[in-house]
Amino acid sequence: MGYKYEHLMKLTANELHNHCERLLKKGVNPLLVTSLKREVLTNKAHRKSTRAHGKQLRNQWRVIMSALMAEKKAVRSLLLYKHSLSHEERKAALEGYMLVIEKVEAKLKEIMTTAPEPGKPALTPMQYDNTKKHWVDYVPQHIKDRVCLLFDAIPHHPRQKVKHPFPRTMPEEQHAKLKARLIQRTEKDLRRAKQDALLNPDNEETKAMVEKITRALESIDKLESHEPVPTTWHGLHI
């Protein structure tokens, strides 16, 4: 996006002030100088906000996409492995599953990059649908049922690994990073809540908030690697 006076947006607040002072000394209309300064500051704030939203957008979608791409990689490796037992049934199930994964991938990429209306930024997962925490949630139930029937049709053989479609998992490294980040945010909220409780000892709401956030930290600590990690502790069912 292009901004008016973009060459001035790289200046610090002091540098912009000095630039405006020089314009005034040159005899430029003070109203024009004030308008220029206001527009530059407004544009800088808008650019900062846009970049922050873009970073948040990428980070939140990365959580969902990383789990999807890990599953896609796993299914692709299974398709390359030529199993002598139940080959046709196994191939049909994996190919059907891969087709669903690829359609979900295309759908999510479209959501990630499409603005809801002209001039508006694309939506984060929470903004798009806050009930969907994992890529599996973007697959309609009747599609899941069809794919599961294909996997159920594969004859089972002793010591043969069974593949279960639509696992609610994510890469362990990603899960650990998100969990640590959530704990850090929640501990910060807890410190603030405790401070409020100390300043307002007769307020029952502040005491209740401390207890609630404490329970949230306990729940976060118990999160297993197969469980989705919410962005904030408010996303926990406590």
Residue ranges of domains in the chain: 171-238
Query: pLDDT value at position 186?
Result: 93
Query: pLDDT value at position 1?
Result: 57
Chain segment 72-117, per-residue pLDDT in tens: 999 999 888 876 666 788 889 999 999 999 999 999 999 998 888 8
Mean pLDDT of 221-234: 81
Query: pLDDT value at position 117?
Result: 81
Chain segment 157-178, per-residue pLDDT in tens: 777 777 899 998 877 787 888 8
Distances (CA, A) of 33 to 29, 38, 42, 46, 155: 6, 9, 14, 20, 78
